[in-house]
Amino acid sequence: MVGVPGRSKGCVTCRRRKKGCDKTEPACQQCTRSGLKCEGYGRELVWVNNTPNGENGKAHHSNDTRVALHDSLARSAREELFFGLLISMSLPYGHLLSPKASAISTNGWVAAVDEYYNREPAIRYAALAMSAGFMSVEDKKNQVAQHSQLTLQGLQAYNRAIHEMVKGLKDERRSKNDGVLVAARILQSYELFFGRAPDWRAHIEGQLALFMARGPASFTSGQAHQLYVDGRVLVVMLSIGRRTKSPLNTPEWRTVPWRIVPKSIKDKLMDVMEDIPYMLVSYDNLCACQDPDRMSELYQILMLNCQHISNSLDAWEREIGADLDRFDYTVAGTPVPTPQDDTEISLVYLSSVYWGARLMLYSTLGMAMKYAAEAMSPGSDSVPEVPQIRMLNPGIFARKIAHAVPLLYGPAAGAMQGASGLFPMALALRYFATTEPPGQRSVESQMVYDLYAKPFVGSFVGRFLNDLQGPQLSEEQKRDVEAKAQKNVFWYAVLGSENIVRT
């Protein structure tokens, strides 16, 4: 039968989406910002599934198919299964993150998948690719013979998603919608679990290109803001890995997206992380310098950068307070306590990133002081005063990471939460690899390597970390590999060709 809606005076589109409507005419701003057609303020007809059984009910059936079903009914039963699997396997406890957890995690953006699923075809195929990949792994583990078919279906869905991304970017209106960003983030996650490190990096570059094309004012509220603050984390991590300034490290990008929503404790930590490439580049410049007089100046620049990072981390530590001790084995003891909810799992991630920042600071500071002592001419009057910075053993923070990161691979943590631990985990592993004698591993080092044997996520993370480090290529060769990946493989470098597929 056909019923009537409630007495809301909002537009038809906002009433259907259960969103607050500003009642602007002729089209409301809520719909305009979301890239939707505002269907006006007439009374909407709603399909109510209340047809009686029996012949009388059948007699009233109509062939008219113009009545629109609710979004959730537009999906096939198979898609509902795949979508449910994506959420249950990706996130802590198998459900979308709470608002508190979203503020300190990198996975709050997943809530946008459901919202934009039926509006952006690329999301549909990207989500199917991820889900099919997850199911294939489960079936292979359970020795189901058809697991290879699911793997193939995942690749086919991935390729369809890439085609849809290319088409979407050629459409000026569609390319500026949040749905394209959601699809980009899913594709990046797919590469992390089932692809290769250069491809994963290139998807992050594509996401960055979408940010830059829209400008900071596009990300001040709603899902757009969540997509930006979570996506920014990946851009920052990539910039640190490449030892280059993040394109998002400008006054506009560091302020405008937070005009409406105040910065969270995670956002403030990312501000500090965004400054770390300056410190790393300053160290590289010092090591490359052959002029003793110039060297003293570069050393001072490096020390000032280190002081800035140190002071910023001190301020952040004061703000987060006792929460930082929750999963710190030097305070909580061993084994560290098990997280009780999604917020605590997210806190493990945030704490590990902070310890990773300290690890980079004190490793760089220690190497710089040692290098300067050996390389600068003794007794030179040109050596300027340098700031006094508290120096701690970087190994303290590598060990803290080693004790906490395994919590991100627990049975309730979810695949994406485990993947979020890649960055601090890689930092700790690199520290252990450069400080421990060949063939020997400390207890903490072994704890991290043992994660490779964890079912599902651990094996993928181990493979990905090895791929991330890659073969011992020269810097020129590495840049060439990256350039080829970005030019020839990915959707954001649309060159008029849609033949962008995975095999």
pLDDT single digits (tens) 390-433: 899 999 999 999 999 999 988 888 888 888 888 899 899 889 98
Residue 464, pLDDT above cutoff 80? no
pLDDT-based confidence at 438, cuts 50/70/90?
Answer: confident
Q: Which of 128-142, 251-265, 484-498 has the lowest mean pLDDT?
A: 484-498
Q: In terms of domains, do 392 and 274 share one?
A: yes
Asked if pLDDT for residue 325 goes beyond 90, the answer is yes
What average pLDDT does the segment 228-241 reach?
94
pLDDT band at 5 (very low <50, low <70, confident <90, very high): very low
Share of the chain above pLDDT 70, in %: 73
The pLDDT score that the predictor gives to residue 374 is: 78
- Residue 223 domain flag: yes
Rounded mean pLDDT of the chain?
79
Are residue 287 and residue 432 in the same domain, yes or no? yes
Q: What is the pLDDT of residue 377?
A: 54
pLDDT at 458 over 60: no
Question: Averaged over 265-287, what is the pLDDT?
Answer: 95
Res. 389: pLDDT tops 80: yes
Q: How many other CB atoms are there within 10 angstroms of residue 301's CB atom?
A: 18
Check whether residue 396 and residue 274 sit in a common domain. Answer: yes
Query: For 215-288, where are the alpha helices, taking DSSP H only?
Result: 222-242, 265-288
User: Element (H or E) spanning 3, and its range?
Assistant: strand 2-3
pLDDT exceeds 60 at position 213: yes
Between 292 and 348, the more confident residue is 348
pLDDT at 72: 44
Distance CA 481, CA 177 (A): 31
Q: Which residue has the higher pLDDT, 440 or 15?
A: 440
490 within a domain of the structure (yes/no):
no
Specify if 494 maps to a domain.
Answer: no
In a domain, 336, yes or no: yes
Ranked by mean pLDDT, which of 39-48, 198-207, 320-329 comes out on top?
320-329
Confidence (pLDDT) at 334:
95
Average pLDDT over residues 155-172: 90
pLDDT classification of 118: cutoffs 50, 70, 90: confident
Question: Is the pLDDT at 342 greater than 90, yes or no?
Answer: yes
Are residues 385 and 406 located together in one domain of the fold?
Answer: yes
Instruction: Please count the structural domains in the chain.
Output: 3
41/226: higher pLDDT: 226
Kindly state the average pLDDT of the residues 75-93: 77
- Does residue 328 form part of some domain? yes
CA distance 370 to 365: 9
pLDDT at 439 over 80: yes
Among 17, 48, 68, give the residue marking a domain's end. Answer: 68
Residue 47, strand partner residues? 2
pLDDT confidence of residue 465: 64
Question: Is pLDDT above 60 for 494?
Answer: no
The pLDDT value given to residue 143: 64
Q: Are residues 40 and 100 in the same domain?
A: no
Range of the domain at 61: 1-68
Give kind and range of the element (H or E) at residue 38: none
Q: Residues 466, 323: one domain?
A: yes
Least trusted range by pLDDT, from 103-117, 138-152, 242-256, 280-294: 138-152
Q: Are residues 88 and 170 in the same domain?
A: yes
Bridge partners (DSSP) listed for residue 2: 47
- Asked which of 10, 45, 68 is the last residue of a domain, the reply is 68
Assess if residue 164 is contained within a domain.
yes
Q: What is the pLDDT of residues 308-317, one digit of tens each?
A: 999 999 999 9
Q: Choose one of 68, 89, 120: the last residue of a domain.
A: 68
Same domain, 249 and 284: no
Total residue length of the chain: 503
Residue 493 lies in a domain: no
Q: How far apart are CA 235 and CA 77, in angstroms?
A: 36
**Do 205 and 225 sit in the same domain of this protein?**
yes
Same-domain check for residues 59 and 116: no
Kindly state whether residues 367 and 440 are assigned to the same domain.
yes
Mean pLDDT along residues 226-249: 93
Distance CA 382, CA 296 (A): 7
What pLDDT does residue 385 have? 60
Output the domain CATH number for residue 62.
4.10.240
Taking residues 462-481, report their average pLDDT: 54
Which of the pair, 68 or 103, is modelled with greater confidence?
103
Q: What mean pLDDT comes out for the span 444-471?
A: 70
Asked if residue 302 is part of any domain, the answer here is: yes
Which H/E stretch holds residue 429?
helix 422-435
For 401, half-sphere exposure in the C-beta direction (CA atoms, 13 angstrom radius) is 31
Find the range with the poorest average confidence among 79-93, 292-306, 345-359, 432-446.
79-93
Bridge-partner residues for 3, per DSSP? 46
**How far is residue 202's CA from residue 188's CA, in Å, rounded to a whole number?**
8
137 forms beta bridges with none
- Of all residues in the chain, the percent with pLDDT exceeding 90 is 43
Residue-level pLDDT at 414: 85
Q: Clarify whether residues 368 and 304 are in a common domain.
A: yes
